[in-house]
Structures are given as structure tokens and as C-alpha cells.
Amino acid sequence: MTVLAGKHVVVVGGASGMGEAIARKALEAGARVTIAGSSQARLAAAAKRLGTGAATLVLDLADAGSIAAAGRAIPALDHLLITAQSRAAVQTIRPLAELDFDLLRQAFEVKLFGALRLVRELAGALARDGSITFFSGGASRRIIPGHVGLAAVNAAIEAAARQLARELAPVRVNVISPGLVRTGAYDAMPEAQREAMFAARARALPVGRVGEPEDIALAALHLMTNGYVSGAVQDVDGGGLLG
Ligand SMILES: NC(=O)c1ccc[n+]([C@@H]2O[C@H](COP(=O)([O-])OP(=O)(O)OC[C@H]3O[C@@H](n4cnc5c(N)ncnc54)[C@H](OP(=O)(O)O)[C@@H]3O)[C@@H](O)[C@H]2O)c1
């Protein structure tokens, strides 16, 4: 399959999880791929797993100077996907009474402000038939205990993306809203607690399982290649919004 042949795909967050799976899918589809993230060591390890064709770029979405440098380092691209979330994001999963606002501010800093700043830097470099894909999460529309903070972050990026789909047209702008997906984002949880969470969610979902990064990569490929989708929030959640 070479549906992305000749295209430059930039994945911010490509050193792990969904971003790495998207980078792999884009390479399989013939693209030239740049993975970006805040750690050169993690990027290098991911590039090794991905094999030839994946370039790396150190980019800290919490740092305006780093974002400006990324703008200079990427003179042209076709598709931008931003899966990055702050490492502390999962720790904000708390009821309001226990919410750490400094951690929540970091989550906004990376996923909303950093992402928007990066889009501003790269907008002029994006191909007119290109696309931007942001990532949110089901808490923006589904009531999930302890998600008051992340719900706000995710709703904010969905709202901004819809505005940008008009403002940056004809570049297409979409959002993938993943359900629970088995990635390293949950590595800090004790294993027994993490597996119990995955098992409980799998039982509750219509599809009977939690997501894998590959599920998200397939949706990302669709949003990169289908020129008639813009301003959409694509749920890839095993039917999680059905209740
Ligand atoms: N996994 C789930 O169940 C789930 C559910 C709903 C929504 N989501 C959303 O889906 C997206 C992808 O999730 P995931 O599970 O694939 O996440 P992940 O494995 O934790 O990956 C996040 C990536 O972001 C990068 N990153 C962290 N801080 C950064 C910074 N300041 N600047 C640039 N990059 C940074 C990390 O690399 P470095 O630390 O090396 O920079 C990492 O590669 C996220 O937006 C997440 O909120 C995930």
C-alpha cells in the first residue's frame, strides 16, 4: 500500500503509544515520517523500532522556543498529527476535591497551548491538500469519574479544532477521540490495578475489548487520506459513548 507515497507525515508524540503506531502505519503507506517528542533518547529508541524512514526531531510542546525551532526545522509537510500529552496527564484523574491544578495546567500547556502554537508555526508549511489531526478523549462528552480536568482539556482541543477547520481551510483539521487504549500512558499504575481497569472496561464495551494503538493508527490513516473529512471528531472507542 503506497497511499501516502511522496508525503511527509509529522507525528508529535511519535516516540510511543498511538503516535508510534501511526508513524509505523504511515511508513507502511509509503510516507516519509518525522517523529517528534521531548526526549532524544526515547525518539532514538522509537526510530530504531520503526526502522528506516523515520527521522526524529526533539520538540517540547511546553516550551515556546522549542516550538519555534521546530517550525524552522520543518520547511514542508503534508500531515501533522499531535498525540502528545504531558507525562503527568494521567495523574490528574482525580475528583475535583483532589485535583492538582499544577498538573492540570501542564496538561493544558502541552495538549492545548503547545499544540495550537505548533500549528501556528507550521500552518504555512502545510500542503494545501494536507491535514492536521489532534487527539482528545471520551471524557469530553462521556461522564467518567475523576475526569473533570481531562474532560476540560479534551473538550477544549475539540472546540479549537472545529474553528481551525474553517480558519485553515483547505487544510483539513480533525480530531480522534480514543477510548481506553493499551499504551504506556498507564505504565505508572500498579500492574494489577491497570489490568483490572482494562478488564473492567473491556467487559463494559460493546466490542468486548479495550483498544490497541493499531486501532487508532487505522483511523489516523483514514483521516490523512480521505479528502472529504474535515471538522470531525472521530470516536475510536469500541462503542464507549453508547453507555
Ligand atoms: N491511552 C488512552 O487510553 C487514551 C485515552 C483517551 C485519550 N488518549 C489521548 O490520546 C493521545 C495519545 O495517547 P497515548 O496513550 O499514545 O500517549 P503516550 O503513550 O503517553 O504518548 C504521549 C507522547 O507524548 C510525548 N510528550 C510528552 N510530553 C511532551 C512534550 N512536552 N512535548 C512533546 N511531546 C511530549 C511523549 O514522549 P516524550 O515524553 O518522550 O516527549 C509520548 O511519546 C493523548 O492525547 C491522550 O490524551 C489516550
Task: Please report, for the chain, the start and end positions of each structural domain, with discontinuous segments joined by +.
Answer: 8-234
Per-residue pLDDT band at 3 (split at 50, 70, 90) = very high
Asked whether the predicted pLDDT for residue 128 surpasses 80, the reply is yes
Q: Kindly state the greatest CA–CA separation across the chain.
A: 51
Q: Is 149 in the pocket of ligand 1 (CB under 6 A)?
A: no
Could you tell me what percent of the chain has a pLDDT over 70?
A: 100
Q: Is 60 in the pocket of ligand 1 (CB under 6 A)?
A: yes
Structural contact between residues 208 and 239, judged by C-beta atoms closer than 8 angstroms: no
Span 52-78, pLDDT tens digits: 889 999 999 999 999 999 999 999 999
Pairing of strands 172-178, 126-135: parallel
Predicted local confidence at residue 52, as pLDDT: 85
Q: Print the SS3 string covering the chain.
A: CCCCCCCEEEEECCCCHHHHHHHHHHHHCCCEEEEEECCHHHHHHHHHHHCCCEEEEECCCCCHHHHHHHHHHCCCEEEEEECCCCCCHHHHCCCHHHCCHHHHHHHHHHHHHHHHHHHHHHHHHEEEEEEEEEECCHHHCCCCCCCHHHHHHHHHHHHHHHHHHHHCCCCEEEEEEECCECCHHHCCCCHHHHHHHHHHHHHHCCCCCCECHHHHHHHHHHHHHCCCCCCCEEEECCCHHHC
Q: Is 137 in the pocket of ligand 1 (CB under 6 A)?
A: yes
- pTM, whole model, 2 decimals? 0.98
Asked whether the predicted pLDDT for residue 1 surpasses 70, the reply is no
Span 168-217, pLDDT tens digits: 999 999 999 999 999 999 998 999 999 999 999 999 999 999 999 999 99
Predicted local confidence at residue 53, as pLDDT: 82
Could you tell me what percent of the chain has a pLDDT over 90?
A: 97
Q: What is the mean pLDDT of the chain?
A: 97
**Architecture of the domain defined by 8-234:** 3-Layer(aba) Sandwich (3.40)
Mutate to test the pocket of ligand 1, among 118, 183, 210, 212 (most ligand atoms within 8 A of CB): 183
Block residue for cell numbers 487504549: 181
Predicted local confidence at residue 200, as pLDDT: 97
Asked whether the predicted pLDDT for residue 27 surpasses 90, the reply is yes
